[in-house]
Structure 1
């Protein structure tokens, strides 16, 4: 490559060149057909990077190197990390490093990480003010979406029962439908009890999650179930935007440290602290992919994806993905100034 050739702002560090090429194609398409160089040699890749790169995608095997790069060389760089093994180390790294916002669990039976996850991460990292995609956009064309807006505790319970019904209609085994219902209950408890705050930012209902409540119109969350025949997605949306990055990663890593990752993949509930951290481990462990998208003070969306073609027993051994995106002017300012 000549010295006059333009330097890249997005790149892939991957030891398997075929996998790297597949990932780079997806990243390029999601970034408007930008050039995305691939290398297995860090020195070779550095020679092709601009002075202010925006995004590096890499395997967890190169995590330490990537963290050194963003700490010492590239303050503008964000990380997208994939792994077919344990996510434990990467999750703890994400707790410490806010520029690591996407961890992609690579199913052992797949030829590459899920392309839609790679594309989602690239778009959301490069355009932090953009509106998130609709749930139907993340499923195959023709997907069915069912929506609920529970206002009372009784509404919540009816909604949870209907989630189980629709999950079975979508092809989920009875045991998986029960787990989806349990996830719906936890998502709604967070959205109905933990999320609402008054005009001064004080929690309204979280002090007693066992009491029956009737939400005001402006407090009502939305729960959606989407199914396309291959996947089921469950999404909770509240109008408060109080969930923060540290709530998510702290809740998950605290649970993993206490129980070990193997036991964490079972549907257990982390009740060591109240508030937004309650149940984050359960929510993360419940599905194959977890996407959290927050607009501070106005919107929190938590979406869990399930793969209907994966045997529930096999699912427990697969790494789960997590993505945290925050739509705020501060995120844009940080990206622009390289902080």
Structure 2
């Protein structure tokens, strides 16, 4: 068996980080290749294979470097007992590389239109209730509601920009109660196999991997407040701490789609549990 730390499979460049033996790549390659086989990317594919870093799922500051690559590498946890990624995360990776929703295909999805702060609060409450009605723990209900609130506010108030690219609401978050009709968005959620899936989409495509990289650079340390984008920079850190997986697909200038997955168990200290963080950035070429 090869001991190379890099292995190309199905158009992906699989990379084993220091937490895994290099030989583990050959074990997981067939699963991942099958998951992405025949799935065209949203826009023109990058000149190099898409990098997927397999690791033990324990996020560390040194993982920030992978998000700063062009294109960003996708961090995929190997949480299963056999040393591979979970089937649901492999499916999420496949969905990330094609157009459309990141939600589980067979799940019953609930949609909450968002135009104002009240809508965000109601959607977050509905998420928490869905967790409890699915026999999830009260801890998970609170965490999922918190994640729902954060990603909804980000899409509703931080994402919209004007024709010059200037934020429309981000710098006056506390004043805005409702956005213009064309800036409205939607939060979708579904419960499947002991996890709740949350997804929100905006039409601006302005998300970038930089804030995620900065969150990782300070992982395990006290959160540094950064209000340059209009918020305090605390929400993203909470999202990463609460979730088992965060997947982002950005088509520049067209769409940002964020999916978060929260386990329904009662574990309280989740920051050190295995996590996948996959940020897929697509630059749209002229005429593409």
Please state which band the TM-score falls in when normalised by the shorter chain.
Answer: 0.7 to 0.9
List 4+ stretches of structure 1 deviating above 6 A: none
Which structure ranks higher in relative contact order (CA pairs < 8 Å, sequence separation ≥ 6)? Answer: 2
The counterpart of 1:325, out of the listed 273, 280, 285, is: 280
Q: Give unpaired runs (5+ residues) of structure 1.
A: 1-6, 34-53, 56-74, 260-268, 334-339
Shift of the 152–113 alpha-carbon distance from structure 1 to 2, 3 Å rule, reads: same
| Structure 2 counterpart of 1:40 | none
Unpaired segments ≥5 residues, structure 2: 1-7, 39-44
Q: What CA deviation, in whole Å up to 9, does each residue of 1:120-167 have, x standing for no partner? A: 43675xx6xx41444132xxx3x2211101212222222222221122
Partner of 1:82: 54
3-state DSSP of counterpart to 1:319 = coil
Greater helix content: 1
Per the alignment, residue 177 of structure 1 pairs with 141
User: How far apart are the structure 1 equivalents of 2:29 and 2:263?
Assistant: 24
Q: 2-side partners of 1:253 and 1:22: how far apart?
A: 28
Query: So what's the TM-score if we normalise by structure 2?
Result: 0.79
SS at match of 1:76: coil
Aligned-pair CA distance for 1:223: 0.4
Choose the corresponding residue for 1:206, options 170, 191, 207. Answer: 170
Structure 1 residue 113 and structure 2 residue 85: aligned? yes
Cα distance in 1, alignment partners of residues 114 and 280 from structure 2: 25
CA 1:307/1:256 → structure 2, altered by over 3 Å: closer, same or farther?
A: same
The separation in 2 between residues aligned to 1:78 and 1:168, in whole angstroms, is 38
SS in 2 for 1:273: coil
Q: Does 1:283 align with 2:288?
A: no
Does structure 1 residue 294 correspond to structure 2 residue 250? yes
Q: CA RMSD in A?
A: 3.2
User: Which residue of structure 2 aligns with residue 91 of structure 1?
Assistant: 63
- In structure 2, relative to structure 1, the CA distance for the partners of 1:11 and 1:195 (3 Å cut) is closer
Confirm whether residue 312 of structure 1 aligns to residue 267 of structure 2.
Answer: yes
